[in-house]
Amino acid sequence: MKTILLALAALLSSSAFAAKIEEELFVMGSQPALLKELVGHADITVDHLDSHGFEVYGPAGLGEFLSQRGVAFYDLKDARKNVDWTNYPSYEQIKAKLEEFAAKYPQIVRLTSIGKSVKGRDLMVLKISDNVAVDEIEPEFKYISSMHGDEITGRELTIRLVDEMLQKYGSDAAITDLINNTEIFVMPSMNPDGSELRQRANAAGQDLNRNFPEAVRNDPNNAAGRQPETQAIMAFQASRNISLSANFHGGAVVANYPWDAKYDRHPFDALLQDFSLEYANLNPEMRSSSEFNRGITNGADWYVLLGGMQDWSYIWHNDLQITVELSDSKWPNYRDIPGFYTSNRDSMIRYMELVHQGAGIKLANRNATGKVEVLNAQGASLGTYGFQRGEFYKVLSPGAYTFKVEADGARLSINVTVDSEISPNGNFTSL
């Protein structure tokens, strides 16, 4: 036993890449000292802290380690034996459904595989837009779900959302405006291997939401050594100008906003709280949460998470992202999915609309790259952001701003205004 404990202690390092998840446990009760010890180690994943305890995932010997500390816990793998998996579609059925969307609505849907999973399954992304074959200058939005394979609710909800949007295009004004004036990207399953295996990790046993470059650790923003699913998202994000997104999880009901990895407040903290509230307020269970005030939480205030996609997306790509936990049960009975969609449908539509609360520029040279410094009405800098393909867009709180643009060897300043009334056709200034 001493050998096991020493081996586990040796794994508790600050390495950028986690050890394979071999044990999945739920620690019971409040354990602040233990939580502090475990959080921050790349090979140990802490998740879903609540009044009952928290989940912890790690290498072989983790249970022995906790037992030696006198910590009460139970095995999540044993708990999953009681889950009803019936009626959920397989990967092949999901893929066929997405192909059906693309075949039935070719003018507004394009299906792309952005890479392969560990087991060679396609990582599929739907693009939805009125001129789907054209890279238009419009605000870009993204939904990603199920990067944890056993958190399945979001996969089913995003497919239902896409289905409804495609069917109602041209007849529902809000949906039609969104599709006509936005480039929307939807990835129902970032971890298809994990979902097929009914597990959190991918097929290599890695937690994908601890696998992204981490600024707190000064990780370089490169894909070397990362999981193929992570690499695919990194390459995809680098090819786009996405400015607002959300990723869907399960195990709680809350809208979680950055930062995840540090207690400092995000430079757009107020805006992120407002957007999280927009989502939560339209979801009856979320807004009335007894665990989370108003149904929202700051990520690090809940629990610290290193190597997450949420922080990475903004630090490297100017993509404001929140994490939406959709259901207390990670894999609820399939008959409950329609009810979850009813609870989240308006929130999902409204959150997409929020991408139009912002301002942008478009250059005559579509190949132009450059950078933009954003200043508020008082002249304070809100950051400098790179852009590509002749366009830049920034989601912002209502108010007046100055964009200091450097592109094609020229420098200029433009004044822009973001209104409280969202413009469905964006707010771009031609340069």
The enclosing domain of 179 has a CATH number of 3.40.630.10
Give the SS3 label for residue 246: strand
Q: 120-156, pLDDT tens digit by residue?
A: 999 999 999 999 999 999 999 999 999 999 999 999 9
254 pLDDT more than 90: yes
Q: 78-87, pLDDT tens digit by residue?
A: 988 888 889 9
Q: Is residue 310 part of a domain?
A: yes
- How sure is the predictor about 9, in pLDDT bands with cuts at 50, 70 and 90? low
- How sure is the predictor about 74, in pLDDT bands with cuts at 50, 70 and 90? very high
Which residues touch 8 (CB under 8 Å, ≥6 apart)?
58, 59, 61, 62, 64, 65
Which whole number is the average pLDDT over 81-97? 94
- Give burial (CB, 10 Å; 0-12/13-18/19+) of 60: middle
pTM of the model: 0.95
* Chosen domain end from 330, 355, 380: 355
Q: Is residue 311 part of a domain?
A: yes
In the chain, the number of structural domains is 3
CATH code for position 47: 3.30.70
Among the options 151, 183, 325, 353, which is catalytic? Answer: 325
Q: What percent of the chain has pLDDT over 90?
A: 81
423 pLDDT more than 80: no
405 pLDDT more than 90: yes
198 pLDDT more than 50: yes
Please tell me the least confidently modeled range out of 19-23, 70-74, 210-214, 348-352: 19-23
* Chosen domain end from 355, 386, 416: 355
Active site residue 99: no
The rounded Cα 297 to chain-centroid distance in angstroms is 15
User: 320-325 and 242-249: which strand pairing?
Assistant: parallel
How far apart are the C-alpha atoms of 18 and 62, rounded to whole Å? 14
**Residue 409 structural domain:** 358-430
Q: 327-382, pLDDT tens digit by residue?
A: 999 999 999 999 999 999 999 999 999 999 999 999 988 888 899 999 999 999 99
